[in-house]
A and B are shown apart, each in its own frame.
Chain A
């Protein structure tokens, strides 16, 4: 069983001309867990991953696998499997010969080609030219390339883009399985909801800078707790809240009271003799926390 290595970003910065794409980014990714690398489009995720893989040169800083830079790995494909954008192939090649080329280059047994194509569910299309593949099939082929060397580390850039619902369910289970085997799994996405079901940890960047780091549960905070309360007699309810000194705004489904405790509101209504039709707490979800972190005022 391949063992995962720790991925380490140390003070990575990248400038393209005068534009800073990544600014002083540092974090580590542990084996045996699925880590979501999140941020809006243009936040610098792909650039960071390409620096990690030695495809883009960092302006400063270093990114390593178990302390070794990608280009210094003795057996890169056996150590790290990466799937970047979904179109890195010659359209005239079949899936089998596409993977065959890189199996030869990496000194891997040719039997691995059909093994990984079977693993990602493309065995039936192995002899088909890749130019005729759908976006979902290309994603799977990219994943097959990542798996070619049976690596301990997986680096996947937006692997869920373009997959159908069945494919999304499949890849979620796949990511969990890979981590359960002790591999290091780093998955980028611009949508938290896409990966929330499969990740243990999150690394969130915005505008090239780290904004949050920690287990997924660390996002599950009551950032802006509100309680929705409503009554057939909304006027009297509003008066009761006002006299109790609770501020509120009028929402579509009722009054949005700025109080975290529904019991307090229930008591106020009861004391004022107002019948309630709605009383529930509205939690700020993971997605809201995520958007609050990366948003900085602009919408996605």
Chain B
């Protein structure tokens, strides 16, 4: 156990002694802050009639978006999840790229324990990224909602449950990043996969799957959909035309955990326990 805790401390030190983490934190905060603030202003403006639907050319589209605060707050994970994935993938592939597996395994020869410590560490730091992302979506988005006279629901227990589930989702996403990193140790390939999948492939798949009921049920198990189910709100579920209900929050959490576990275990076999040359 002491060996595991030492490894966790060492993994924390690895993350916080390089510059990557705070660069990602700054970009995450600005990105989510702008998005949550901007869309809070737009939706709240339309809903309260401050902005006329005609002015934004929605062509007589919806003027009622349901309860706005969960939608705005969920940007922390529904859009911000790519950041903990990147951190996890970079932290893992960096060990291969910079050949730091050698000193790591010399200090701690039990490789499974090292990978477990890395996963535990990244889950905690991923949750930390969740705090930053929520500071942006709740802080800025909620502030804008209040400015438009929409109740930010900050005293509502549902809001705080959503916040807690967002932290969990962000932690699990970082663990998925670690799993991807051992599955695809090539750093460039790993980054390309993260960006292509999260920004392009999965949103398209979710949209395509949502048109038929049977595919929509399968689409619910895509990692992004599972994450949104776990958090409980998302701009993506709002846009779903088929109206298939998402997974329960705990099911979504288990699906995310499953992705992380499967990737990590396979990655352990195909790269982590191989010869370090």
Contact = CB atoms under 8 A, between A and B. Distances in A.
Interface of A: 47, 50, 53-57, 70-71, 73, 76-77, 80, 82, 84-85, 87-94, 97-98, 100-102, 104-107, 145
Given A89-B98, A89-B100, A90-B98, A106 B107 contact: yes
Contact of A88 (B2, B6, B99): B99
B10 A57 contact: no
A78 B229 CA distance: 49
Contacts of B108: 76, 105-106
B13 A97 contact: yes
Question: 5 closest A-B pairs (Cβ-Cβ)?
Answer: A105-B10, A97-B17, A71-B109, A105-B107, A55-B276
Contact of A56 (B7, B20, B107, B277): B277
A80 B104 CA distance: 14
Residue from B19, B103, B109 with most neighbouring chain A CB atoms (10 Å): B103
A77 B18 CA distance: 24
B9 to A, nearest CB: 5
Interface of B: 2, 6-7, 9-10, 13-14, 17-20, 94, 98-100, 102-110, 275-277
A54 B2 contact: no
Given A87-B98, A102-B103, 7 more contacts: A55-B105, A55-B277, A71-B110, A88-B103, A89-B98, A101-B13, A102-B104
B275 A55 contact: yes
A102 B10 contact: yes
A97 to B, nearest CB: 4
12 contacts: A50-B275, A54-B105, A71-B109, A73-B109, A76-B108, A84-B102, A88-B99, A92-B18, A92-B19, A92-B20, A102-B10, A105-B10
Contact of B103 (A47, A94, A145): A145
B276 A50 contact: yes
A77 B106 contact: yes
